[in-house]
Amino acid sequence: MKDLLRSKRTLLFLPLLGLLMVFCEPQAQWVKNTSTGEAFGTTFSLIYLAEDALDYSQGIDSVFNVVNTSMSTYIPDSDISRINRGDTTVIADAMFREVLATSREVHKETNGYFDPTVGILVNAWGFGPGAETTMDSAQVEQLRAYVGLDKINLSDDNKIVKEAKEIQIDFNAIAKGYAIDRLAAYMDLKGVQNYLLEVGGEIVAKGENKIKSQQWVVGIDDPQATLGRQLKISLNLKDEALASSGNYRKFRIDSITGQKFVHTIDPKTGFTRNSNVLSASVIAPNCALADAYATAFMAMDLEASMTLLNGKKSLEAYLIYLDAEGNVAEFMTPGFSEKVKR
């Protein structure tokens, strides 16, 4: 009988011991790994969480290098620079082809307002690596003859065929976003499930900020801030990308006339576009798309951008603009509004 009682006590104790083991088991300790530096003429800040300390700086540098080698117009021996100089032997790599395909998609959806063949105009207006030109209506009209995404094609052996040697391809309005997508793919390959990747204000967020037990929180700059950078709003992001474009930082002043020229080129007119849109922020499934659409919305009429957004459920956007009376106004899609941190 004593042995039987002893057995019953043991059976009653074991579940309690199990409960103690569950409650005493330590929670996962998340390590905040960071990588910062400069790339694409701007800064980057990458946060990737794991249970161990990680150093992916070498792999991150490799991602930047391969994207630059393929698509940087500021590197003389990059693939895109060689193509722009008329080298017909260059074989477009998989990244170049993917960015070209995405550019064609956005070009079609925006009725041609996103067009990477504005490169010759970007240079002429003084916003690219090429020589700046004194621009007037006649000069703009002459250069516009070399603008049009339908003027370049991909051959069966993956070479770029241009209708005219003067055509210049410029992926700078999409390549930065695409590079962040490649960084995200690298993190996924490494098994990282929670990260926040930012390059020059463009962002990809995945998972959550496990250290704070909340979604990733990011900010959008106020385009009217006069003293340094000030935030307009903050957002919660998860498993999506954000890109912003605005004319409030990138512009040049003519040294003789004092005239201000913004960096957004209207591919339909060839002139810089001083639109009433101050900034455009776009949330999309990937950063290449977000980057391209944010650029296009700076060149498009406000009403056209709103119409596109109302019919395209894969995009969310926030547009800050000046109304007819010159007052600051906002347009925000419902999905974007839901992400605003209140």
pLDDT at 230: 81
Residue 7 has pLDDT above 60, yes or no: no
Mean local confidence (pLDDT), 5-31: 46
In DSSP terms, 46 is beta-bridged to: 35, 197
pLDDT at 260: 38
In DSSP terms, 33 is beta-bridged to: 48
Q: How many CB atoms lie within 10 A of CB 334?
A: 8
pLDDT at 226: 62
DSSP helix, strand, coil percent of the chain (3-state; round to 5): 35, 25, 40
User: What residue type is 274 in one-letter code?
Assistant: N
Residue 27 has pLDDT above 60, yes or no: no
pLDDT at 267: 83
Torsion angle in degrees (nearest 10) through CA of 291, 296, 301, 305: -50
Residues 6+ apart with CB under 8 A from 105: none
Mean local confidence (pLDDT), 202-221: 96
pLDDT at 270: 80
**Backbone Cα Rg of the chain:** 25
pLDDT at 70: 98
pLDDT tens digits for range 284-302: 999 999 999 999 999 899 9
Torsion angle in degrees (nearest 10) through CA of 130, 160, 177, 252: 20
pLDDT at 46: 98
Decide: 154 and 136 in contact? Cβ < 8 Å.
Answer: no
pTM of the model: 0.85
Q: At what angle do helices 175-189 and 57-71 cross, to 10 degrees?
A: 150
Residue 243 has pLDDT above 80, yes or no: yes
pLDDT tens digits for range 136-175: 888 888 888 999 999 999 999 999 999 999 999 999 999 9
pLDDT at 323: 85
Buried b (16+ CB within 10 A) or exposed e, 164-173: eeebbbbbbb
pLDDT at 223: 79
Residue 188 has pLDDT above 90, yes or no: yes
Mean local confidence (pLDDT), 302-320: 95
Domains, the chain, ranges and CATH?
31-116+168-339 (3.10.520.10)
Mean local confidence (pLDDT), 201-220: 96
Report the mean per-residue pLDDT for the chain: 86
Give residue 254's pLDDT band: very low, low, confident or very high (50, 70, 90). very low
Q: What percent of the chain clears pLDDT 70, i.e. is strictly above it?
A: 83
pLDDT at 302: 92
Give residue 12's pLDDT band: very low, low, confident or very high (50, 70, 90). very low
Which of the pair, 182 or 299, is modelled with greater confidence?
Answer: 182
Kindly report which listed range (51-65, 108-122, 246-260, 325-339) carries the lowest average pLDDT score: 246-260
pLDDT at 16: 39
pLDDT at 5: 36
Phi, psi of 310 (to 5 degrees): -65, -20
